[in-house]
Amino acid sequence: MTELLKQTVASISESIRFDSSLAPALGDMPFGKGAADCLKHFLETAASLGFEVRNYENYAGEVRFGSGEPFAVLAHLDVVPAGNGWKRDPFGGEIEDGKIFGRGAMDDKGPAFCVLYALKALKEEGFVPKRELRLIVGCNEENGWACIEHYKKAATMPAEGFSPDGSFPVIYAEKGILHVRMHFPMEKPPFLFFEGGESCNMVCDRCEATPRTLSVLRARALGFEMKNKKLISRGKAAHASTPEQGANAIAPMLVYFEKKSADVKRVLDCLFRDKFGLKKLCDETGHLTISPDLIKYRRGELQVVCDIRYPATVPLSAVTEKLSKMGVKYETLHHQPPLVQEKDGALVQELLAAYESCTGKKAEPVAIGGGTYARALERGVAFGPEMEGDEPVVHQANEYISIERVELLLRIYREALLRIAK
């Protein structure tokens, strides 16, 4: 293992030990102490490598190298909650079997440090960038992008760049993102308590409910755990943009109560059985996906927060029209328009060339359902770290990044930044 790789692995492991998931604001730490400490660690590491660094009031940080027309690399240090089902400490940063384990290893602390150390490699080689390379790291990517909003007020966002928070070879298009809270009235609900989920962009992996009348045989048939008259449904977490890679714990719980309540059946029909054809909306970037990730029973209604990813060329009005046909009150919590860049544009082609140079693979740009910081740029794309055939680990238990992938990312990002700024 080269010295550069050793240093990168060590820094990733250290960073994972900070629980940088969203926490209540504390003094001058808008996203909590964990996120602020994680940002401090990143910037101190960059400063120790000889780079100019800036901290924008603990919303975001920046590493600068070179001068000229700015080019941004936008990464993030915040993470989704750990969730359930871990075999290791999610914030332990353990290194074993050629892998670094922990929340954020792949999304997005690992890639952020790979870019930083790729810059270090270029610096040590004596490379003088003809563009100002800015590595911008945010602390609120998973929960609303307040970090980017603050950065744009405090500094000037470059027009062009990439985000190492998607997949290879190059992401030229990203679906639109819509988070809505839906309100389903419950007349004579067959439960006293119903709640599940940890994050609006992570497939629910645990759901709990207390039935008014417990059917032990039915509960066992559906595989529920039973504890003090409470039912516990367990699923598998996944990124909400790819709900098919997880198992939503909310669905079987609703099925349990369906025969006792037409109102519960309505929730299933609307959100899981696609009675109103939301998932039929489609274009070259794929079908619409909907992931009901948070649910709770409050004041006579089931409130469900859904993560919707809609095709890049489909207008938002087509989605809201389908939602309105459900006849269910809903409110928009968050919306990000789709991203579409030219496949044959200079940025896409330059990054493709870097990828092909380091992997030997001829490739074409692709589209994803995920949303990255690339949307914050006039000309932005996502570039790594995932590859076709990877085991899905983002937003899942036992997240990891392999040391082999870290080594490859160092080479790819070095090559890409060299081409961009030479």
For 166, phi and psi rounded to 5 degrees? -135, -115
Same domain (yes/no): 31, 157:
yes
Amino acid present at 80: V
Same domain (yes/no): 399, 326:
no
Q: Which H helix or E strand runs over 38?
A: helix 33-48
Our count of domains for the chain comes to: 2
Residue positions annotated with a catalytic role: 78, 141
Same domain (yes/no): 269, 311:
yes
Same domain (yes/no): 122, 58:
yes
Domain CATH number, residue 32: 3.40.630.10
Domain boundary pick from 278, 301, 336: 336
Same domain (yes/no): 47, 66:
yes
d(CA 250, CA 115): 38
Sign of CA dihedral 218, 223, 229, 230: negative
Same domain (yes/no): 223, 152:
no
- Predicted confidence at residue 257, as pLDDT, reads 95
Q: In which domain, by residue range, is 164 found?
A: 3-173+340-421
Same domain (yes/no): 151, 188:
no
- Predicted confidence at residue 48, as pLDDT, reads 98
Domain CATH number, residue 205: 3.30.70.360
- Predicted confidence at residue 218, as pLDDT, reads 87
- Bridge partners of 301, per DSSP, are 185, 298
Question: pTM score > 0.85 for this model?
Answer: no
Residues in the chain: 422
d(CA 382, CA 401): 18
- Predicted confidence at residue 386, as pLDDT, reads 96
Domain boundary pick from 288, 319, 336: 336
Same domain (yes/no): 203, 259:
yes
Question: Could you tell me which residues come within 8 angstroms of residue 51 by beta carbon, excluding any fewer than 6 positions away?
Answer: 63, 64, 65, 119, 123
Same domain (yes/no): 20, 150:
yes
- Predicted confidence at residue 407, as pLDDT, reads 98
- Predicted confidence at residue 144, as pLDDT, reads 85
Same domain (yes/no): 34, 163:
yes
Same domain (yes/no): 287, 367:
no
Instruction: Point out the residues of the chain with pLDDT beneath 50.
Output: none
Same domain (yes/no): 63, 11:
yes
Domain boundary pick from 272, 306, 336: 336
Measured from the Cβ of residue 353, the count of other Cβ atoms closer than 10 Å reads 13
